[in-house]
A and B are shown apart, each in its own frame.
Chain A
Amino acid sequence: MSVLRTVGLSKAFGERVIFEDVSLELARGDALTLMGPSGAGKSTFLRCLNGLERADRGEVHVGQVSIRAAAQHAEFAHAARAVRARVGFVFQGHHLFSHRCVLDNVLEGPVYVRRTPREQALPRALSLLEKVGVAHRAHAMPAQLSHGEQQRAAIARALAMDPEVLLLDEPTSALDPERTERLSELLRTLRGEGVALLTVTHDVAFARALGARLFRLEHARFVPTSV
């Protein structure tokens, strides 16, 4: 039973084809890593999966919800929102809300999107911060955190929505080897809990440590690889 499936997903910027006719499937607890040179369009692919960008053709299915590239604006926006509630996204630049403390960043999704009462959402948010290892910085502002801590806080924010799939864009780009090691440990734990991972990276060691299926984005095609 797949949690995320793409059918014939294609995207081009003008003449330049970014990816063409991509169909793939992620099962529960599955992990897939996409590699390739910078500027190949890996991030664009990731952003098309949750509707931050619109593909030219194709569909993304998450559970019963589908984002169709050909949909009208209103339908597309509606489907994208439904998908985002089940698919977490961790940005390369983390993009924490700079005007709120770490804990409030994590609470933002459950309290304002899910409308869970704050008291009810609080224990879970704190345990997530514990899990990613930044509980001691819960009341700090994002700017006061190190890059590693920011990355982990951003993961906790995404996890707070209980996603079935986590999309990670270059999660190790700002981390030293020791922190990279701890991040892959965390992601393996999440996998074990049933979260499917789709990671974009060009860190080969990290990709291997995740134990994921590896693909390279080459000439707009997804090529299975073993590195």
Chain B
Amino acid sequence: MWYTAAMILPGQSVLACLGLLALAAVSCRHAGPDDALAGVQQRGVLRWGADIQGGEPYVFEDPEHPGELTGFEVQIAAALARELGVRAEMVQNDWTTLVPSLERGSFDVILNGLEVTPQRAQRIGLSRPYYFFTLQLSARDGDARVTDLASLRGLRVGTLANTQAWDMLEPAGAVRVPYEGVEEPYLDLAQGRLAAVLLDDIIADRYGDKPGVHVVGSVGVGAYAAGVQRGQASLLQALDRAFDKLEKSGELRAILERWQLYNPRQAELARTPLAGARAAPRAAFQLTPHQLWLFVQGALTTLAISAAAMLLAVLLGLLLALARLPSPYLLRRLLAGVATVYVEVFRGTPVLLQLYVLYYGLAGLISLDAFTAAALGLGLNYAAYEAEIYRAGIQAVPHGEVEAARALGMSSLLSLRRVILPHAVRFSLPGVANDFISLLKDSSLVSVITVIELTKRMTIAAVDGRSWLLPGALCAALYLAMSYPLSLLARSFERRLGRGQR
């Protein structure tokens, strides 16, 4: 553990490097010579990593046999395993973190639309390509701004995070919007939340045919290859031999044809060098002022979303708590029932689901931009929790004082304003401040609806720069910098409450 702790202290980075080197040396000696292929064959299983969320036709659940996987990569994996004399076993993993998971040994090989890029070639072993794709630029009908890569400067362009397209969009000056699924970017393009989408032709052909959306053209080419850990030459060579065999026998072509993926480009592009390979390889994660600024921007986004959501939660929560106060009137009792249902539904379902429904599910009814949807979704969810805190606060109000207010001739509304709420709010403040801290951290969930907040920024930087320690520590430091003052505030509220006035 000592080297992990040392990494976080800037003054001790030399010590930390020594520690890591020592660790690397130990693990090398332990692993011995490259026995990756022997290991796979000994186990009799080729574990391959992929993300089902990538959807049809890569790897997805067979609609006719729920629970079973299908897709062209499922068939390729099966064929590769057969050539190696073992069986294939798919391991589900988030697409953006496939490479780090491969490196930590979660599976033997990546087989999931992994593009051949210089930085990947530097980091892991890549097999010979098994598919050549083009990058298709899509835009809304009648939007003349989008013509080619250069035209995207300043426009919001959606794609999958950490893909070749993602990397191409940065020098083009586009505002990159990261997605985790392939359907969502086209939905958002049709909704007007994006100006363009840049994705592989396989995806564009299948998911890009939304009404009012068309393909502008192809802006680049690339190839999918299988990836193995660095230094596992034996496994890589075996995979290359297997691919060669599958190509010569026509089985690869047959698989691609079965999924309507085969085109003349597959034969043609195999002989042309890849454009991407000429780009300069990217350095590992470095804490440049620009990188730091990106992190601070992420933190500010987190703070802005949390603050807006909390404001909504505090106000709506109060209304909910008031609606639930006991009353002899039928209409008020109905209202209380509605408020109770609201609280139970929003507390009883995951906030992640609520965000999806709000952003994608209701997109046809109300088209919210991602920031608004994020603040609204978190706010609506937390309102249910605040309502419960207020309810407890209202129950704690000294009953005698409420009676004294009534005995003075106050109406229910006036006694609420003058006596019940001042007490209830004071009782609720510590709980509300604590919830704000939780909200700050829960706000990382909004990355699923394309908001780049602090955690998403960290993930992007970490995957890009093949380091999780420094970005992770920076991310944690920024969260702490935001939550610690809140924590102090909550404690001072509690102290004031403890002192009491009675």
Contacts and interface: CB of A to CB of B under 8 A. Distances in A.
Contact of B401 (A81, A82, A98, A112): A98
Contacts of B414: 112-113
Contacts of B406: 52, 84
B501 A143 contact: yes
A81 B398 contact: no
A97 B400 contact: no
16 contacts: A52-B403, A52-B406, A81-B409, A82-B409, A91-B404, A91-B407, A95-B400, A95-B404, A98-B401, A99-B501, A108-B405, A109-B408, A141-B501, A142-B502, A143-B501, A154-B404
A112 B406 CA distance: 12
Kindly list the 5 A-B residue pairs having the minimum CB-CB distance in the complex, ordered from nearest. A95-B400, A95-B404, A89-B407, A84-B409, A85-B409
Given A84-B406, A91-B404, A113-B408, 18 more contacts: A50-B407, A52-B403, A52-B406, A73-B328, A82-B409, A84-B409, A89-B404, A95-B400, A96-B401, A98-B398, A98-B502, A99-B426, A108-B405, A112-B410, A112-B414, A141-B501, A142-B502, A157-B408
A211 interface: no
B500 interface: yes
A197 interface: no
Contacts of B405: 97, 108
B212 to A, nearest CB: 56
B410 A113 contact: yes
B364 to A, nearest CB: 44
Nearest to B422: A99
Interface of B: 328-329, 398, 400-401, 403-411, 414, 418-419, 422-423, 426, 500-502
A113 B409 contact: yes
Given A108-B418, A112-B418, A97 B404 contact: yes
Contact of A95 (B398, B409, B426, B500): B398
Nearest to A89: B407
Contacts of A161: 408-409
Nearest to B419: A97
Contacts of A154: 404
Given A98-B502, A142-B502, A84 B401 contact: no
Nearest to B404: A95
A93 interface: yes
Contacts of B423: 98-99
A84 B410 CA distance: 9
Interface of A: 50, 52, 73, 81-82, 84-85, 88-89, 91, 93, 95-99, 108-109, 112-113, 141-143, 154, 157-158, 161
A219 to B, nearest CB: 28
Given A99-B501, A112-B418, A113-B414, A84 B400 contact: no
A88 B407 CA distance: 7
A93 B407 CA distance: 14
B408 A98 contact: no
Contacts of A73: 328-329
Contacts of B329: 73
A81 B404 contact: no
B427 to A, nearest CB: 11
Contacts of A109: 408-409
B436 to A, nearest CB: 23
Given A98-B398, A98-B501, A84 B403 contact: no
A82 B404 CA distance: 15
A85 to B, nearest CB: 4
B325 to A, nearest CB: 15
Given A98-B501, A141-B501, A142-B502, A91 B409 contact: no
Nearest to B400: A95
A95 B405 CA distance: 9
A73 B327 CA distance: 10
Nearest to A110: B408
Contacts of B502: 98, 142-143
Given A112-B414, A143-B501, A95 B401 contact: yes
A108 B328 CA distance: 27
Nearest to A76: B328
A91 B403 contact: yes
B501 A81 contact: no
Contacts of B328: 73
Q: Which of B404, B414, B418, B423 gathers the greatest number of chain A CB atoms within 10 Å?
A: B404
Contacts of B398: 95, 98
A161 B406 CA distance: 13
Contact of A91 (B400, B411, B419, B501): B400
B500 A143 contact: yes
A83 B409 CA distance: 8
